[in-house]
Chains A and B, each alone.
Chain A
Amino acid sequence: MEYFLELFFSGLTRGSIYALIALGYTMVYGIIQLINFAHGEIYMIGAFVALIVAGVCTIYGLSGFAILILAAAIAAVYAAAYGYTLEKIAYRPLRGSPRLSPLISAIGMSIFLQNYVLLAQTPDFLPFPRLIPDFAFMDDVAHIIGSPELVILVTTLITMVLLTLLIKKTRVGKAMRATQQDLNMARLVGINVDRVISLTFVIGSVLAAIGGVLVASYIGQVSFYIGFLAGIKAFTAAVLGGIGSIPGAVLGGLIIGWSESFAAGYISSDYEDVLTFVLLVVILIVRPAGILGKVRKQKV
């Protein structure tokens, strides 16, 4: 039982990070049907900005938690700026063009951002300070769920509650939902659609940056390449849960986290990716639009 719990929380931690990143994919897809392949890079940039902020803060002698919050805040602002700019220069000019064009543009941006960080920073792995302290009260259960995992879970939970409130309760959220249902109709009733799309990118980027900071301080290293694999997994999570669906992205992230963790724990870590993608195939056969996804009727 204890072993089960260990794997459960491992998977939950990993899955909640996937979910944070997957939200960015799914929100963007929900509104403009674009798979934003550069999203994983935003996550990586978030981690890098946090590293720089943490470095500066350490010089000024701030404590671990203060640095973490400050670093996450500045990383979120930076990532938001990147997300906004990305949409502005790489996707907006291509709106209305065939669907493949923005997709290619997205892949191009992903390669560009990776290589930009590689050149501007370093090709090597950098140590990321362990900003999350080991709480004394967690010591007895540290082998099941450690302090960093606890912080990650609490942070993602708060973030997701805030996101839900934003979408369900505010005017902006209402505009986002309307745009997701029908972009042209939303424009007709006076919603500034361009602004809503920008905002979607900004929110997605902030979530990715938070994920990046959490992961970096959890595993203690960053490199220009970390966005690739995390992005692929998060994208899979979004598809699994039903791309376009926000609860779906969270569910998909958790399922992938758990399936990886249990596969590694009970079967073999050689099969962790195999099992995850077999699961994806099976679910897509049974429900082609993903677990919580809705099939959009194509009007011809």
Chain B
Amino acid sequence: MKRMVVLCVSFVLCLAVTGVSAETIKLGVAGPHSGDLAPYGIPTMRAAQLVVKQINEQGGVLGKQVELLIQDDQCNPNIATNVATRLVSDGAHVVLGHICSGATRAALGTYREAKIPVMSPSATNPPLTQSGEYPNFFRTIASDDMQAKLAVDYALNSLGVKKVAVLHDRGDYGRGFAEFAKQALDEKEIEVVLFEGITPGAMDYSSIIQRVRREGADSLIFGGYHPEASKLVTQLERRRVDAVFISDDGVKDESFLNVAGSAAEGAYMTGPKDLSALPLNKAAVDAFQAAYGAEPGAFFQEGYAAALALLNAVQKAGSTDYDAVVNALRTEYVETPVGLIKFDEKGDAEGVGFSMFKVENGTFVEMQ
């Protein structure tokens, strides 16, 4: 009888122990995993999976395994809010996401109420950090105004443009880029002959391209994503309009090269610096290629960096307590594929940045 009791008690204890070790650090991952913007979200999701797999194999964070909670927001602000509510109720401790600026902004309030640190690898809309409204928000990518300033400086100093047409796709991201570009151009007193939004997904943009020609613009700065950019450069070529096409990192995607083909040649765009020389970057890309046998895709490095930074902060903070984690993010440096980073007061990563790229012979070439 006594033996039975001992057995029973040890069983109970066993369960209790497994109960403790079953407690996990929950890392939410939100972004577009379906829909036409899925190519921007899937690389980050896979980055998170690779990071978590590696960390779990090395014993996890604070001795606990890391669990992924993956949610698809399709870059849609309405869905993003639901996704945020879902992640909060599922008990996410930190969230990697969202991908699109609009969706991120829609979701951030929910996370702020729930005191969850959020880190986006790709939401570059400046007010997300600069407004100070979201102390829980961080990002591993530089903001749009940095991109726009770089693009304008390059256009003026290296390309010598005189008359600029600025177009955007009316979205948070594209419009933001276009407005910052216009601001920078106005400061330099360069003539902006056209500043307009175009309808994303419209059948064609030939009328607006005619307008660009009529205004005599020698360059076209576009804020938006690759589907519209492909149409614009194709129309520029077809309509024999001689204007340099300059855009943002939403255009720096393999799809732009594939879809626009020869029309993409000579187009300029900003994009995150080429970091392939960093050892951790190489390791991350190798891990991806070993797992999926393909190139990682957009924002993979930033996503990888964000996942590492978040989990590292939890480790350094010694708990998942909001204040401790946020403090760790702001004070502790972490080695990532985008360099050795920590975050400033507003949530922007110190030491990450953009370069100018040009399409030459069907590839993106980094300009010095």
Interface of A toward B, CB cutoff 8 Å: 3, 6-7, 10-11, 13-14, 17, 118, 123-127, 130, 134, 142-143, 146, 148, 215, 218-221, 223-226, 228-230, 233, 260-262, 264-265, 268-270, 272-273
Please name all residues of chain B whose beta carbon is closer than 8 Å to the beta carbon of A130 when the two chains form the complex.
261
For B196, B202, B208, the residue with the greatest tally of chain A CB atoms inside 10 Å of its CB is B202
Q: Which residues of A contact B213 (CB under 8 A)?
A: 143
Closest 10 pairs between A and B when the two form their complex, measured CB to CB: A264-B207, A127-B259, A10-B206, A261-B207, A6-B210, A123-B38, A221-B259, A269-B208, A10-B207, A229-B201
B227/A221 in contact, CB under 8 A: yes
Min CB gap B292→A, angstroms = 16
Which residue from B36, B208, B226 sits with its C-beta under 8 Å from A225?
Answer: B36
17 A-B pairs whose Cβ atoms sit less than 8 Å apart in the complex: A3-B214, A7-B207, A10-B207, A125-B255, A127-B261, A142-B238, A143-B240, A143-B241, A215-B203, A215-B204, A220-B231, A220-B260, A223-B227, A225-B201, A229-B199, A265-B208, A269-B199
Which A residues are CB-close (under 8 A) to B203?
14, 17, 215, 219, 229-230, 233
Q: Tell me whether A221 and B210 are in contact (CB under 8 A).
A: no
* Given A125-B226, A220-B230, A264-B208, 18 more pairs with CB closer than 8 A: A13-B204, A17-B203, A118-B34, A125-B227, A127-B258, A127-B260, A127-B261, A143-B210, A143-B240, A219-B234, A230-B203, A261-B206, A262-B207, A265-B208, A269-B197, A269-B211, A270-B170, A272-B199
Chain B residue with Cβ nearest A129: B261
- B239 lies within 8 A of chain A by Cβ: yes
Query: CB distance A260 to B207 under 8 Å?
Result: yes
Query: Please, which residues of chain A bring their CB within 8 A of the CB of B239?
Result: 142-143, 146
The closest CB in chain B to the CB of A11 belongs to B207
| Chain B: minimal CB distance from A294 (Å) | 30
- Our pick among B39, B198, B204 for the contact of A219 (Cβ within 8 Å) is B204
Does B63 make an interface contact (CB < 8 A)? no
Is there a chain A Cβ closer than 8 Å to B35's Cβ? yes
The answer to whether B201 and A124 have CB atoms under 8 Å apart is no
Most buried by B among A17, A230, A268: A268
Cross-chain contact A146 with B238 (CB below 8 angstroms): yes
- Which of A221, A224, A268 is the one whose CB lies under 8 Å from B231? A221
Q: Note all chain A residues with C-beta closer than 8 A to B202.
A: 229
B336 to A: closest C-beta gap in Å: 27
A265 pairs with B227, CB closer than 8 A? no
- Which residue of B34, B36, B211, B261 is within 8 Å of A220 (Cβ)? B261
Q: Please state if A124 and B255 are interface contacts (CB–CB under 8 Å).
A: yes
- Bound complex: CA A6 to CA B239 (Å): 10
B199 to chain A: which residues have CB within 8 Å? 229, 269, 272-273
B210 and A270 within 8 A (CB)? no
Inside 8 A of B259's CB, which chain A residues have their CB?
125-127, 220-221
Q: How far is the CA of A143 from the CA of B210 in the complex (A)?
A: 8
A226 nearest CB neighbor, chain B only:
B201
Query: Contact flags (1/0) for B179-211 with A, using CB distance below 8 Å?
Result: 000000000000000001111011111111011
By secondary structure, the B interface counts as: helix
Chain B residues in 8 Å Cβ range of A225? 36, 201
* Complex Cα spacing A262 to B210, Å: 11
Bound together, the chains give a CA A268 to CA B165 distance in angstroms of: 13
Please measure, in the bound complex, the distance between the C-alpha atom of A253 and the C-alpha atom of B140, giving whole angstroms: 47
Of B34, B39, B211, B261, which is within 8 A of A264 by CB? B211
Contact of A125 among B170, B205, B230, B234 (CB under 8 A): B230
A142 adjacent to B35 (CB under 8 Å)? no
Bits for B36-69, please: 1 = Cβ < 8 Å to A, else 0: 1011000000000000000000000000000000
Provide the bound-state CA to CA distance between A41 and B152, in Å.
Answer: 41
Contacts of A7 on B, CB cut-off 8 Å? 207, 210
Cβ of B12 to closest chain A Cβ, rounded Å:
48
Q: State whether A3 and B210 are in contact (beta carbons under 8 Å apart), knowing that A125-B226, A269-B198 are contacts in the complex.
A: yes
Cα distance A103–B55 in the bound complex, in angstroms = 52
Q: Which of A124, A146, A230, A268 contacts B38 (CB 8 A)?
A: A124
- Chain A residue numbers with a CB within 8 Å of B210 are 3, 6-7, 10, 143, 265
* A-side contacts of B211, CB under 8 Å: 264-265, 269
User: In the complex, what distance in Å separates the CA atom of A299 from the CA atom of B196?
Assistant: 50
Q: How far is the CA of A230 from the CA of B199 in the complex (A)?
A: 12
| A221 CB, nearest partner CB in chain B, Å | 5
Please give, as numbers and ranges, the residues of chain B lying within 8 Å of A219 by CB-CB distance. Answer: 203-204, 231, 234
Q: Which among A124, A143, A272, A273 is the interface contact of B36 at CB below 8 angstroms?
A: A124
A21–chain B nearest beta-carbon distance, Å: 10
Q: Which of B136-174 contact A (CB under 8 A)?
A: 167, 170
Q: How many Å lie between the Cα of A143 and that of B314 in the bound state? A: 59
Residue on B nearest A261 in the bound complex, by CB? B207
- Given A148-B238, A220-B230, verify A269-B207 contact (CB < 8 Å): yes
Is the pair B34, A123 in contact by a Cβ cutoff of 8 Å? yes
Measured between beta carbons, the chain B residues less than 8 angstroms from A11 are: 207
Q: Cβ of A6: which chain B residues have Cβ within 8 Å of it?
A: 210
Cα separation A125 to B206 with both chains bound (whole Å)? 20
One digit per residue, 1 when the CB lies within 8 angstroms of any chain A CB and 0 when it does not, for chain B 219-242 equals: 000000011001100100011110
Shortest Cβ gap from B260 to chain A (Å):
7
| Chain A residues whose C-beta falls within 8 Å of the C-beta of B258 in the assembled complex | 126-127
**Docked complex Cα distance between A261 and B204 (Å):** 10
Question: In the complex where A124-B36, A124-B39, A273-B199 touch, is A221 in contact with B207 (Cβ < 8 A)?
Answer: no
- Closest chain B CB from A200 CB (angstroms): 25
How many Å lie between the Cα of A269 and that of B259 in the bound state?
24
**Most chain-A Cβ atoms within 10 A of its Cβ — which of B199, B214, B259?**
B259
Closest CB of chain A to B324's CB: distance in Å?
Answer: 39
Across the interface, name the chain B residue whose C-beta is closest to A222.
B259
A-chain residues with CB within 8 Å of residue B39 when the two chains form the complex:
123-124
